[in-house]
Structure 1
Amino acid sequence: MNSPSSPAEPGAGGASADVDRALLAALSRDGRASYTDLAERVGLSVSAVHQRVRRLEQRGLITGYRATLDAKVLGLPLTAFVSITPIDVAQPDDAPKRLAHLSAIEACHSVAGIESYILKVRVASPDALEHLLQEIRAAANVTTRTTVVLSTFYEDRPPI
């Protein structure tokens, strides 16, 4: 059986896998690319590209399409990573559930190491960050360690 991480069907040649990878790479950079544009890039007919993209969606390699928002334009110029550690190690490990209501938390990653989770947050100001940290500590009964991002050179890079 083929794994979701390999684009080509079982038994398919290298060229088929290369075409699928090219389609995935193109769509990861521009999810609004037309089938005509994609067909020109990979050298197939529009209908063949449409079928391949539909198959990639059905197999779970393409999980959705989304708009990428500019946090600065939205008034959220400050990005920080907040590492959290439970105050009481005997407490239930339910921090993601306890923090889900905080929309300033963009991502929550379970990690190995001293901390239990690392949160990526976006806020309007240092004052807003301090307020968010207080909310995180109270909601999840955790200590926090915060790193403020000064510059982001690349983000959301496609894995292909």
Structure 2
Amino acid sequence: MEEIDRKILTLLAADGRMSFTDLGKATGLSTSAVHQRVKRLEARGLIKGYGATIDHEQVGLPLTAFVSVTPIDPSEPDDYPRRLSDIAEIESCWSVAGEESYILKVRVPTPAVLEDLLARIRAIANVSTRTTIVLSTPYENRPVTG
């Protein structure tokens, strides 16, 4: 990957709404050249999409937790992401190496709702869980710079 494309990716990761004009100023390219490069990066799958950063506390989801999922019966098919995909409170699902099979990032309004969610996850996927509650988030989703 060219260094200029890497710079465009870094700038867009920090501000996905940055205009082609501002990207051009920051990279020394013309607006049309930046536009072409961004379209190429999108077509190649290096840019998968654009999104908004939500203040979860203000939308009523102040409690974030990481739920580690371990199969109760390891001989069952490893289809836990599919089984859990309809649970709206699950924001992210990562397959991991180690004792657990998956780690889920969940957001809920209260501890009671988290408790109910954990029961649903266990029942739907036939797994055991280990939960870590987030106390604060000094930073999250930092753009990769290198």
TM-score (norm 1): 0.86
Range with bigger deviation, 59-68 or 29-38 = 59-68
Give the fraction of aligned pairs with identical amino acids, expressed as a percent.
63
**CA-to-aligned-CA distance 1:18-37 (integer Å, 9 cap, x gap):** x2122111111111111111
Q: Does 1:125 align with 2:107?
A: no
State the distance in 2 between where 1:48 and 1:97 align. Answer: 41
What is the Cα-based RMSD across aligned positions, in Å? 1.1
Higher RCO (CA < 8 A, seq sep 6+): 2
Equivalent of 1:40, from 17, 20, 25? 25
Range with bigger deviation, 87-96 or 113-122 = 87-96
Match of 2:53 in 1: 68
TM-score (norm 2): 0.94
SS in 2 for 1:121: strand
State the distance in 2 between where 1:63 and 1:95 align. Answer: 24
> Which runs of structure 2 are paired with 1:92-111 in the superposition (5 Å)?
92-111=77-96
Q: Which protein is bigger by CA-based radius of gyration?
A: 1
State the distance in 2 between where 1:23 and 1:94 align. Answer: 37
> Which runs of structure 2 are paired with 1:5-154 in the superposition (5 Å)?
7-8=1-2, 17=3, 19-154=4-139
Structure 1 position 159, deviation (Å): 2.5
**CA-to-aligned-CA distance 1:60-95 (integer Å, 9 cap, x gap):** 211111122221111000000001111112111111
Question: Where in structure 2 are there 5+ consecutive unaligned residues?
Answer: none
Structure 1 position 47, deviation (Å): 1.1
State the distance in 2 between where 1:51 and 1:103 align. Answer: 36
Equivalent pairs counted in the alignment come to 145
**Moved segments of 4+, more than 6 Å:** none
Question: Where in structure 1 are there 5+ consecutive unaligned residues?
Answer: 1-6, 9-16
SS in 1 for 2:120: helix
